[in-house]
Amino acid sequence: MSRNVIALVDCDSFFVCCEQKVNPELKGKPVSVISNKDGCVISRSKEAKKLGVKMGEPFFIAKKEHSKGIYIVANHDLYADISNQVMSFLKTFSPTVEVYSIDEAFVELTGLKKLYKMEYIDLAAFIRQRIKDELDVNVSIGMSSSKTLAKLASDKAKYESCGVYAIHPRFAKEELKKTSIEEIWGIGRKLTKIF
């Protein structure tokens, strides 16, 4: 890694994860959170995704087409409380944490490998495991030299078995060649509308 190391910590299926945290019986089941009792799907467990439940799908369609799914009305107070726990926990690892959304934060790791006496990739894995052990929240962590690349890495981390993915600046061009422009945070979707 270069001198500048930024991590994007992204909570996986956050609203569902929060519901599973307070009700462990929901773990491993096809759970979807809906925006309100007649609303749309706003979060899905991996089991719900496998069932075919789509993000943004109206509840009445999801319930009809995927009757084996479990549907829970969103509890935003609960999600805000657990989000605050995660963000506060991240601040115990780094003095620079920028909360980006309820379930994402940029964490400055630059120089911390000396403090923790481990490589950055190992530090990210350590942080991820501690969040799981202490807070029972699953996260994916992407790392690189910029926020944009860290965000891309965090998206890729969701498909890695260890939940951590790093894009070294030296290999960023090769990584970007394999990535469609729509996947680039803050750039992709806006540019594709132009073209």
Q: Of 25, 57, 104, 108, which residue is the catalytic one?
A: 104
Angle between helices 76-90 and 14-22 (to 10 degrees): 100
- Nearest Cα to Cα of residue 39 among 52, 21, 15, 55: 55
3-class secondary-structure state, position 103 = coil
* Cβ atoms of residues 79 and 15 within 8 Å: yes
What is the arrangement of strands in the sheet containing 164-166, beginning at the earlier edge strand? Answer: 97-101, 104-108, 6-11, 139-144, 164-166
Q: Look up 19 and say whether it is catalytic.
A: no
The dihedral through the CA atoms of 117, 120, 125, 128 has a sign that is positive
CA distance linking residue 109 with residue 126, whole number of Å: 13
Strand partners, 108: 6
3-class secondary-structure state, position 126 = helix
What residues are annotated to the active site? 104
